[in-house]
Structure 1
Amino acid sequence: MSEMHSDSRMQQAAQVIADSHHLIAFTGAGISAESGIPTFRGDNGIWQRYDPRVLETGFFRQNPAESWRAIRDIFYATAADTRPNPGHHVLADWEQHGLLHHIITQNIDDLHHRAGSRSVSEYHGSIRFLRCQKTGKTVPFTEQTLEESMDDRGVPVSPWGGILKPDFVFFGEGIPLKAASRSELEARNCDVMLVIGSTGEVYPAAQLPEIAAKGGAWIIEINPQRSNFTPWITDIYLPYPAGEALPALAALIGGLRS
């Protein structure tokens, strides 16, 4: 048995998950970083290389070509080569077997869907779609769609004549109503929340684990580094990468159920 499997915190977490009635997951940048997607903050974060203004709504409206140059580099250049990691696949498997009810993700990378998860609230939107700023209509993102829609400025334009913007939340925009409502409902109704790879620094998303904790839910945190949640709402802290901890938990839960 590995050191992780014999960790009493892992064994306790596995038992809590196995006994849960409404288990949900709240995922942040850490789980995607294990698939090679850089985080925004930290020493090697995206904001060390790019001006955050490129994702401000006002800047985008005034300087769409400059914003789009950065957006393509940050979000789309490596997207096709990025794959879900074992952590994503365990969550999808738990959903398919009725153990996990829902995922709330702060990530826009679509890795949960690509792993097979279907009950997902994308709290900050997704790179999967582009939204026309004239009509509000969306079109699915493909590299071909992007290339064919470019005008002479290097800005993609929709069939309806409006500038296309990635359908994720920019600075200065509100959280999509449907995602916000479903996420809060799940946080209030869960009895166990897995908090995976989130720093707890980004609001209003960081309120959701707080809501779950105030409602009496167990908070199991999986994160190699301690977060803002760790000292005051986390019940069980597992200091491991999600791609290692979730498969280990799955094995332990399988043993409990056999």
Structure 2
Amino acid sequence: MRAALDQAGELIAGAEAVMVCAGAGMGVDSGLPDFRGDEGFWRAYPPYQRLGLSFVELADPVHFGSDPELAWGFYGHRLALYRATVPHSGFDILRGWGARAFTSNVDGQFQKAGFTEVAEVHGSIHHLQCLLPCRSAIWPADDVAIEVDPETMRATGPLPECPSCGALARPNILMFGDYTWVPDRSQRDLDALASWRRSQLGKRLVVVEIGAGNAIPTVRRQAELASAATGALIRINPREPEVRHGRGISLPMPAAEALGEIQSRLG
């Protein structure tokens, strides 16, 4: 492990640019659940185990039309949780490296930690859209506060509405089986990231992948693609740390610990 950490430190020390690709495991050290399998999800949300509802079933936009109190109970609770969460020390380390961020997380933790350019491939819970949608507008959820019954996990108060047509609003998040997600905001930031990556051609770009598993490999694919030319990949994952064909450094550690150990080697 020490040798791998030393190699990671050498990569970062010699980097001309750093890109972080983060999955759900990035937030675990901040106290956020990673929803790993139904059991992990139910440990975080026991009422849903009593109802026999999985994360995949709840993260389906159909509920906003058929049972909006159920849908907004889940997402309203998550919105409050993410607002109250303090990003762990690893975020500051990455920001100190000048890292550009790509993430599948919808929690807004990178922005809360001071990152100004973040590509959120699955959208953000801190932004809303019309459920229909009546148009492609996306607006901040800053003034939204959902009251949730902790026993039933159902929303009990007023629900947000589209300011244009008055229909129910929903989070601007790509859910499972989602055909009405408005991707414009995410696509703009993804295009900006792609432009930045092109500007790094010929430079020593180091990719730090954190907490990204194989089940939904969006983040892993992005990290492997971005590091394909050089093999300068640092994969931080306590459960699935393996790298293919030896093209990268494997660190089977939690995010904050691994980043702290790398930082300590930079002098």
Name the TM-score, length of structure 2 as normaliser. 0.77
Counterpart amino acid of 1:165? R
* Alignment match of 1:22 (pick from 17, 22, 34): 17
Contact 2:18 2:97 (C-alpha < 8 Å) held by counterparts: no
CA distance in 1, matches of 2:39, 2:159: 28
Name the CA shift for 1:204/1:247 in 2 (closer, same or farther; >3 Å).
closer
Q: Which position in structure 1 is the counterpart of 2:121?
A: 123
Unmatched 5+ stretches in structure 1: none
Q: Is the 8 A contact 2:236 2:252 kept in 1?
A: yes
Provide, for residues 80-116 of structure 1, a one-character-per-residue CA deviation record: whole Å limited to 9, x for no partner. 3210001111112222xxxx3x111111111111111
Q: TM-score, normalised by structure 1?
A: 0.80
2:92 to 89, 92, 96: 89
Cα RMSD for the two superposed structures? 2.8
Give a deviation string over 1:18-73, Cα, whole Å, max 9, x none.
11223211011111011111112236422674432232233433333321122223
Question: Hey, what does 1:70 align to over in structure 2?
Answer: 74
* Runs of 4+ with deviation above 6 angstroms: none
Between the aligned partners of 2:239 and 2:76, the Cα distance in structure 1 is 29
Alpha-carbon distance, 1:135 to partner = 2.9
Equivalent residue for 2:173? 168
User: What is the CA–CA distance in structure 2 between the aligned matches of 1:134 and 1:126, rounded to whole Å?
Assistant: 19
Question: Aligned to 1:130, what secondary structure does the other structure show?
Answer: strand
**Deviations for 1:119-145, whole angstroms, at most 9, x for unmatched residues?**
211111112211223233233223x43
- Number of aligned residue pairs: 239
Q: How is 1:192-211 mapped onto 2 (pairs within 5 angstroms)?
A: 192-211=206-225
Residue 6 (structure 2) aligns with:
11
C-alpha contact (below 8 Å) 1:193/1:218 kept by paired residues: yes
In the superposition, relative to structure 1, how do residues 187 and 41 fare at CA in structure 2: closer, same or farther (>3 Å)? Answer: farther
Percent pairwise identity: 28
- Larger deviation, residues 55-64 vs 102-111: 55-64
Distance 1:19 1:111 in 2: 27
Q: Equivalents in 2 of 1:216, 1:167: separation in Å?
A: 35
Maintained 8 Å contact 1:219/1:235: yes
Unpaired stretches in structure 2, ≥5 consecutive residues: 148-154
CA contact (8 A) 2:23 2:219 kept: no
